[in-house]
């Protein structure tokens, strides 16, 4: 872990890993969505609207994975003071928030024909909406603490860890409370879905996960480059006596 | 009375939102990365 603490070493790896993840992610996600849209069968009860699952489920997974990434990076930063941990947390926030928003919108678009309503205040939908607000709060706090403390990320790191409590709430909400939302179709090693639906879904999840990783690596490179440029300009200004 | 809804309207809208958001996010992340790295390289040259 600490082997990657050196930003120069990280950049050497990210330079080839980022385009690889992004390219493979775009290709696999596009193929999976094409498979789901044109070749996968319609479902017996839900008909054609079941095709929304190939976007909705990967978005839900990555919305939650984004926050788990923030929580893991926050823990690493607080315990080991890893210099890239705060940068990794900041890089996870925007893609995590985007996928959470996509999950909510596609869920709403699926809910209207399936349930007859755009929205219900049940446990799963509400806890997912809370996750989106947690992302907004985390991004605002991260920006404010960066401006105030010159890059110290203690407050967002604590927020990132505390906010992780919402992840098991999202996951178990359909089991704990009576919900309009269906119970999990895929659990560890088991699936209630037929292969004709499951295979394009797993393919889509792989593609979007690689895309997410590519975006996180690109964001980390951008944040690192920004910090290096700022440090260089500050040193130059000091040496010139400003 | 149950209103008749074309399921494809919802499917197409969901795909447009999802793919549009993903494409915009990828383009934005690449653009900000290129700009930041260009600015860093220019700061090094000064």
- The pLDDT tens digits along chain B (46 residues) read 456 789 999 999 999 999 999 999 999 999 999 999 999 999 888 7
Nearest by CB: B10 against A37, A101, A113: A113
pLDDT digits (tens, 9 = 90+) for A172-203: 988 888 778 877 777 767 777 888 889 999 99
What pLDDT does B2 receive?
53
What pLDDT does A46 receive?
85
What pLDDT does B1 receive?
46
Enter the ipTM: 0.91
What pLDDT does A174 receive?
87
Residues of B in contact with A225 (CB under 8 A): 33, 36-37, 39-40
- The dihedrals phi and psi of A2, each to the nearest 5 degrees, come to -70, -15
Rounded alpha-carbon distances, angstroms, from residue A40 to A85, A108, A185, B14, B19: 40, 22, 17, 17, 18
What total number of domains does chain A contain?
Answer: 1
CATH number for the domain spanning A49: value is: 1.20.120
Residue A219 in contact with partner chain B when CB distance is under 8 A: yes
The verdict on residue A17 lying in a domain is: no
Nearest by CB: B14 against A55, A215, A226: A55
Residue A160 in contact with partner chain B when CB distance is under 8 A: no
Smallest CA–CA distance from B1 into chain A, residue: A116
The verdict on residue A16 lying in a domain is: no
Residues of B in contact with A94 (CB under 8 A): 25, 29
Residue A27 in contact with partner chain B when CB distance is under 8 A: no
What pLDDT does A149 receive?
54
The verdict on residue A11 lying in a domain is: no
Using 70 as the pLDDT threshold, list the residues of chain A that sit under it: 1-5, 147-152, 188, 242
Residue A144 in contact with partner chain B when CB distance is under 8 A: no
The verdict on residue A109 lying in a domain is: yes
Q: Which residues contact B22 (CB under 8 A, 6 or more apart)?
A: A29, A98, A102, A208, A211
3-class DSSP state for residue A166?
helix
What pLDDT does A177 receive?
84
Rounded alpha-carbon distances, angstroms, from residue A124 to A20, A118, A170, A194: 34, 14, 6, 24
What pLDDT does A45 receive?
85
The verdict on residue A224 lying in a domain is: yes
What pLDDT does A81 receive?
85
Measured on CA atoms in the order A84, A90, A95, A101, is the torsion positive or negative? positive
Task: Tell me whether residue B36 is exposed, middle or buried, using C-beta atoms within 10 angstroms of its C-beta: 0 to 12, 13 to 18, 19 or more.
Answer: buried
For chain B, the 3-state helix, strand and coil shares in percent, each to the nearest 5, are: 85, 0, 15
Nearest by CB: B11 against A49, A94, A214: A49
Domain range for A167 is 22-184+194-239
The verdict on residue A227 lying in a domain is: yes
pLDDT digits (tens, 9 = 90+) for A85-108: 999 999 999 999 999 999 999 999
Residues of A in contact with B26 (CB under 8 A): 22, 26, 211, 214-215
The verdict on residue A10 lying in a domain is: no
Residue A40 in contact with partner chain B when CB distance is under 8 A: no
The verdict on residue A156 lying in a domain is: yes
What pLDDT does B20 receive?
97
Q: How far is A214 from chain B (nearest CA, A)?
A: 9
CA distance A7 to B38: 17
């Amino acid at each position: 872990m600490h082997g990657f603490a050196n930003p120069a070493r990280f950049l050497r790896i990210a330079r080839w890993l980022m385009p690889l993840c992004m390219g493979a992610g775009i290709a696999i996600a596009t193929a999976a969505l094409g498979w789901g849209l044109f070749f996968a069968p319609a479902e017996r009860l839900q008909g054609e609207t079941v095709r929304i699952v190939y976007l909705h489920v990967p978005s839900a997974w990555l919305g939650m994975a984004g926050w788990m990434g923030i929580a893991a990076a926050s823990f690493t930063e607080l315990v080991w003071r890893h210099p890239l941990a705060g940068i990794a947390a900041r890089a996870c926030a925007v893609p995590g928030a985007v996928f959470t928003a996509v999950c909510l919108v596609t869920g709403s678009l699926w809910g209207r024909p399936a349930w007859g309503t755009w929205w219900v205040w049940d446990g799963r939908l509400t806890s997912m909406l809370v996750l989106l607000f947690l992302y907004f709060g985390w991004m605002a706090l991260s920006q404010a603490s960066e401006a105030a403390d010159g890059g110290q990320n203690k407050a967002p790191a604590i927020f990132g860890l505390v906010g992780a409590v919402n992840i098991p709430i999202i996951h178990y909400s359909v089991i704990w409370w009576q919900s309009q939302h269906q119970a999990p179709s895929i659990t560890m090693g088991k699936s209630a879905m037929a292969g004709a639906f499951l295979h394009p879904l797993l393919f889509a999840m792989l593609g979007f996960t690689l895309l997410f990783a590519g975006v996180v690596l690109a964001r980390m490179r951008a944040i690192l480059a920004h910090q290096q440029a700022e440090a260089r300009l500050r040193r130059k200004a000091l040496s010139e006596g400003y | 009375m149950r209103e008749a809804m074309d399921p494809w309207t919802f499917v197409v809208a969901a795909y447009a939102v999802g793919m549009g958001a993903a494409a915009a996010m990828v383009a934005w992340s690449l653009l900000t990365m290129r700009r930041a790295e260009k600015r860093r390289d220019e700061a090094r040259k000064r």
